[in-house]
Structure 1
Amino acid sequence: MSNKKVLLLALLCGLLTAVALNFYLKSVQEAATNIKTRAVAVASARILERTLITANMVTVKDIPVEYVNSYAVNDVSQVVGSTARAEIEAGEQILQTKIVRRDSNRQSLAYSIPLGMRAISIDINEQTGVGGLLKPGDYVDVLGTVEVEIFSVDPNVNTVRETKTHVILQNVGVLAVGTDIGDPGNVEGEEKDSKSDSAGTVTLAVPAEKTQMVAHIASKGDLYLTLRAPADNSVEDRPSIDSLELLK
């Protein structure tokens, strides 16, 4: 074969190779630009178990659809304010199964307790518990009626025991009535609520520093709950009442 023919054949092979390579690169580029992605909430830092998730712990990342977990959350607003049920590593997709949202169906009373509060249960009856009409999510004031000893400076006068009623807590949330912790997604919710009328206890979200007082008054006297209107979050300075005040 002459040199000219060899050279022509080499040029032809080179041209075909260039065309094939160009076609391949274009197909790769088109495939790369046609990747379908989905916005997913991922942890921007390591989130420990039982941690309240804040905005700086979460970011949104576009992930190829085939790699998105079926339980992944795609809206940051659904994550912020939730509590981590399990540890979440930085960069990990945030899954519905790893968080407990406050507006979701609550499976554990612990996750519905506001920060700084403690859950404490008190005994009630129809008189002290607003006729058994309280529901989880209501807000109440707590009144405590106890007997106190009034000491006299006169040795000839016996010590007098006087009953006083104090407003010990205002605008506290009802977490549970009996064993009903509230479940807005429960189809049988109405039937469940109707059974809570006869519940003998109410669980309240009480500031941590007030729990001892509630427990002490409950052991020495009686506690009464007064139901608030949903829009009423006022706090008033109300003095205690005794028998002399009633006579006035």
Structure 2
Amino acid sequence: MRAVFGLVLIVGVALAGGAVYLAQDYIKQTQAELERERLATQEALASMKTIPTVDVYVLNKSLKYGERLTQEDVRSVQWPEDAIPEGTFSDIAVLFPENAKGERYALRAMEKDEAVLEVKVTKPGEAAGLTSRLAKGMRAFAISVDVASGVSGFLRPGDNVDVYWTGSINAGGRAGEITRLIQTNIELIAVDQTAGSDITGTTIARTVTVAATPEQIAALAQAQNTGRLSLALVGIEDEAVASAIEVDQRKLLGIKEVAPAPAPVPERVCTVNTRRGGEIVKTQIPCTN
């Protein structure tokens, strides 16, 4: 009995020793594999190019047109140097100067985490009015519209429109009503009293304000006082330059101009006068020239 017990003990010790050996071998292999992966990761990180970044100020919250911009509304984030939008602010002293005569306001709707750009905020102390939306040499001009001429209320500040004039003419041998394209790609800077682009829903405007040169404004004023103006919305990606377009009733209905019939030429009659006594007689003869 003791011999059987001793044999079982020897077999158990041998099996335990084998299990320990196999476990140690597995652990060594696993550690070696982890070490190889660690070295490969370090080599990959060392070979990666470091992307340079700079500080850029972004918004902490959404802003609508005309809302005040404060230092609590912005924060600095790291931005890839080769992907910085033009007009960003990297210095808080530039965004909010100490000697500023007033505060900045949003000129366009901006979302949270969006970079603050110079074109989207006013200068310190400048009001967010129409004057801030006008480029150098441009003027603001209001055009009266309704649901038909104002593209059914789908116009928004920042859109571009073509302007058509419809009126009667009586000059140059022409008479009747015509429609003519008088201005192309005119920018809208306000709809009624709203200059922000974040208008929700459709608004049936009574007036729209456009940015135009003094010469364009003179043409628009003359056209508005002598006829009716209609607006056509231009697509965002439309780069086509509209040519001179004019439509009258004949062109609309496809009526071609008929040339007047030539006037009849009177037949030439040649005569000679012959005196017979006290009477003069006319006699018809062939015309020679």
* TM-score bracket for this pair, using the shorter chain length: 0.5 to 0.7
CA contact (8 A) 1:102 1:111 kept: no
Please report the TM-score for the alignment, with normalisation by the length of structure 2: 0.46
2:164 aligns with one of 139, 143, 162: 143
CA contact (8 A) 2:162 2:234 kept: yes
The 3 A distance-change label for structure 1 pair 98 and 135 is closer
The 3 A distance-change label for structure 1 pair 78 and 208 is farther
CA contact (8 A) 1:171 1:234 kept: no
Please report the TM-score for the alignment, with normalisation by the length of structure 1: 0.53
The 5 Å alignment of 1:1-248 reads 77-78=87-88, 97=103, 101-104=118-121, 107-150=128-171, 152=173, 161-182=175-196, 184=198, 189-190=199-200, 194=202, 197-248=203-254
Larger deviation: 101-110 or 231-240? 101-110
Distance 1:178 1:126 in 2: 13
The 3 A distance-change label for structure 1 pair 162 and 174 is same
CA contact (8 A) 2:157 2:197 kept: no
Moved over 6 A (4+): 92-96
Q: Secondary structure at the match of 1:198?
A: coil
Distance 1:167 1:245 in 2: 15
Name the counterpart of 1:18: none
Deviations 1:18-59 (A, max 9, x none): xxxxxxxxxxxxxxxxxxxxx9xxxxxxxxxxxxxxxxxxxx
How many Å apart are 1:178 and its aligned residue?
0.3
Letter in 2 for 1:110: T
Distance 2:99 2:241 in 1: 43
Q: Secondary structure at the match of 2:87?
A: helix
Q: Secondary structure at the match of 1:116?
A: coil
How many Å apart are 1:165 and its aligned residue?
1.1
CA contact (8 A) 2:166 2:177 kept: yes
CA contact (8 A) 1:112 1:175 kept: yes
Letter in 2 for 1:201: T
The 3 A distance-change label for structure 1 pair 111 and 163 is same
How many Å apart are 1:231 and its aligned residue?
1.0
Name the counterpart of 1:58: none
How many Å apart are 1:97 and its aligned residue?
3.3
CA contact (8 A) 1:171 1:233 kept: no
Distance 1:233 1:203 in 2: 22
Of structures 1 and 2, the larger Rg is shown by 2
The 3 A distance-change label for structure 1 pair 147 and 198 is same
Deviations 1:194-232 (A, max 9, x none): 5xx132001011122111110011001000000011111
| Aligned sequence identity (%) | 26
Structure 2 residues not aligned, in runs of 5+? 1-54, 56-70, 77-83, 90-96, 108-117, 255-289
Distance 2:133 2:149 in 1: 24
Alignment RMSD:
3.7
The 3 A distance-change label for structure 1 pair 198 and 151 is same
CA contact (8 A) 1:150 1:162 kept: no
Name the counterpart of 1:26: none
How many Å apart are 1:239 and its aligned residue?
3.0
